[in-house]
Structures are given as C-alpha cells and as structure tokens.
Amino acid sequence: MKNNIKVQRAILDLTQASLAEKIGVSRQTINAMEKNKYVPSTVLALKLSKLFKIPVEEIFQLEDHE
C-alpha cells in the first residue's frame, strides 16, 4: 500500500515525532508507514485523515498487485 504521509506531514510542517504525538503512536511507526513497511489499522488511518483534513483514499492507495 502506497501513501503520501510524508507529503501531507510536510504541508502541515510537522516532524515525524510531532505527528506521532498528535495521533498517539511512536515516531518509529510514522517512519515505518512512510517507508511502506507498516500498514496502519483503520483507526490509525482515520486519525490521519482527520488530522490532515482529507479522505483516507487521498492518503493511502492500494497497489495493483494487492
């Protein structure tokens, strides 16, 4: 699953640590999501959507082989 968390984070001028604090996860979790090594839970995806004020589908995209 691809995502644009890093782009959205930059738009809001947030560090990985500050984003992590706002949504209640570790900085390492944010790093893993940005590197496509971790697929977040639905709850976490919805928290990101609410924070970024965009639909989940604009943050996460399924790749063709998924």
Q: What is the mean pLDDT of the chain?
A: 95
Say how far apart CA 31 and CA 5 lie, in whole Å: 10
If DSSP codes are grouped into helix, strand and coil, which group holds residue 2? strand
Per-domain residue ranges for the chain?
2-54
Say how far apart CA 23 and CA 63 lie, in whole Å: 25
Q: What is the pLDDT of residue 65?
A: 74
Question: DSSP assignment, residue 55?
Answer: -
- Block residue for tokens 């604009």: 58
Find out whether 65 and 4 touch, Cβ atoms under 8 Å: no
**65 vs 54, more confident:** 54
Q: Which amino acid is at 27?
A: R
Report whether CATH 3.50.50.60 matches the domain 2-54.
no
